[in-house]
Chain A
Amino acid sequence: MNMIKQRNTLTTIVNNEDLSFVVPGPSGEVRILESISLDQFLNGDRGPDPVPEELSNRVNSLLIVPDYWFGNVTYKFQSRKKSIIEAFIERKLLADHPDLPDIKYFFGYIPHEINQKEKGLYVYFLQESKSFQLYAQLVKYDLTPHCITAPAFVWGEKLREKIPDFHNGGKCLVNMLSKECLLYFFFQGFFLFSRSIIFPDTQMESSEKLNTLTYEINQSFHLFSQKAKAGIDQVYTASSKQIDAGELSDTLGRAVKKLEDLGGNRQNAPAMGKHLGAAERFSLSDLSPSRKFLSVLHQQQRKEMEWVPVQTVGIAVGLILLLIFGAESFFLWKFSQPSLLPTARAGNMAETDPSQTILKYNEALDFLASESARPSPQDTILKVVKSLPANFVIKEMTVEVEGTPAVHIKGVMKAPGPEKLKNSIGYILDNLKKYFQGALSLSLQNIDVELDKFSDMQQGYQKYMVKFGFNLP
Chain B
Amino acid sequence: MKDKINKRWAVVGFIWAGVIFLTWWNIDTMDRIKSPRERREISHLESQFVQYHSENISSVMKKRALFCQSIESLKLGCLSVENQLRSLAMTYDFKAFKTECQPGEDNTGSMPVKLSLQGPFERTLKLMGVLQKDYPYLLIKQVEMIPYDQAGNIKIRILFSYRYRIGSDGLTT
Q: Which residues of A contact B (CB under 8 A)?
A: 139, 144, 301, 304, 307-308, 311, 314-315, 318-319, 321-322, 325-326, 328-329, 332-333, 335-336, 341-342, 344-345, 348, 351, 354-355, 357-358, 360-361, 363-365, 367-368, 371, 376-378, 381-382, 393-402
State whether the Cβ of B125 lies closer than 8 Å to any Cβ in chain A.
Answer: yes
Contact partner of A304 among B5, B36, B57, CB < 8 A?
B5
State whether the Cβ of B79 lies closer than 8 Å to any Cβ in chain A.
Answer: no
Contacts of A361 in B (CB 8 A): 57, 60-61
Do A398 and B143 touch (CB < 8 A)? yes
Do A394 and B40 touch (CB < 8 A)? no
Do A401 and B125 touch (CB < 8 A)? no
Do A318 and B15 touch (CB < 8 A)? yes
Do B143 and A354 touch (CB < 8 A)? no
Do A394 and B145 touch (CB < 8 A)? yes
Contacts of A402 in B (CB 8 A): 139, 141-142, 161
| Cross-chain pair count, CB within 8 angstroms | 143
Contacts of A314 in B (CB 8 A): 12, 15-16
Contacts of A364 in B (CB 8 A): 60-61, 63-64
Contact partner of A382 among B43, B60, B125, B161, CB < 8 A?
B125
Measured CA separation A304–B25 after assembly (Å): 34
Measured CA separation A301–B2 after assembly (Å): 8
Do B32 and A365 touch (CB < 8 A)? no
Measured CA separation A351–B18 after assembly (Å): 45
Do B29 and A329 touch (CB < 8 A)? yes
Do B11 and A315 touch (CB < 8 A)? yes
Q: How many Å from the CB of A40 to the closest CB on chain B?
A: 24
Measured CA separation A341–B39 after assembly (Å): 12
Measured CA separation A107–B60 after assembly (Å): 91
0/1 per residue, B128-144, Cβ < 8 Å to A?
11001000100111111
Do B144 and A398 touch (CB < 8 A)? yes
B61: nearest residue on chain A (CB-CB)? A364
Contacts of B47 in A (CB 8 A): 348, 351, 354
Q: A315-B12, A322-B19, A342-B40 are in contact. List 9 more A-B contacts (CB 8 A).
A: A301-B1, A311-B8, A311-B11, A357-B46, A378-B125, A378-B132, A381-B125, A394-B147, A397-B145
Do A381 and B145 touch (CB < 8 A)? yes
* Chain B interface SS verdict (over half): helix
A326: nearest residue on chain B (CB-CB)? B22
CB pairs A–B below 8 angstroms (19 shown): A308-B5, A311-B9, A318-B18, A326-B22, A328-B22, A329-B26, A329-B29, A332-B29, A333-B29, A342-B37, A345-B36, A345-B43, A348-B40, A355-B42, A355-B46, A361-B60, A361-B61, A368-B60, A402-B141
Count of residues in B whose CB is under 8 Å from the partner chain: 51
Q: How many Å from the CB of A272 to the closest CB on chain B?
A: 25
Contacts of B128 in A (CB 8 A): 377-378, 381
Contacts of B2 in A (CB 8 A): 304
B30: nearest residue on chain A (CB-CB)? A332
Do A395 and B19 touch (CB < 8 A)? no
Contact partner of B33 among A319, A335, A367, A394, CB < 8 A?
A335
Measured CA separation A363–B142 after assembly (Å): 26
Q: How many Å from the CB of A10 to the closest CB on chain B?
A: 14
Do A341 and B36 touch (CB < 8 A)? yes
Contacts of A355 in B (CB 8 A): 42-43, 46
Do A345 and B39 touch (CB < 8 A)? yes
Contacts of B19 in A (CB 8 A): 318, 321-322, 325
A303: nearest residue on chain B (CB-CB)? B5
Q: How many Å from the CB of A398 to the closest CB on chain B?
A: 5
Contact partner of A395 among B25, B143, B146, CB < 8 A?
B146
Measured CA separation A322–B43 after assembly (Å): 37
Measured CA separation A319–B40 after assembly (Å): 38
Contacts of B15 in A (CB 8 A): 314-315, 318-319, 322
Contacts of A345 in B (CB 8 A): 36, 39-40, 43
Do A336 and B29 touch (CB < 8 A)? yes
Do B146 and A396 touch (CB < 8 A)? yes
Contacts of A348 in B (CB 8 A): 40, 43, 47
Do B143 and A399 touch (CB < 8 A)? yes
0/1 per residue, B94-132, Cβ < 8 Å to A?
000000000000000000000000000000010011001
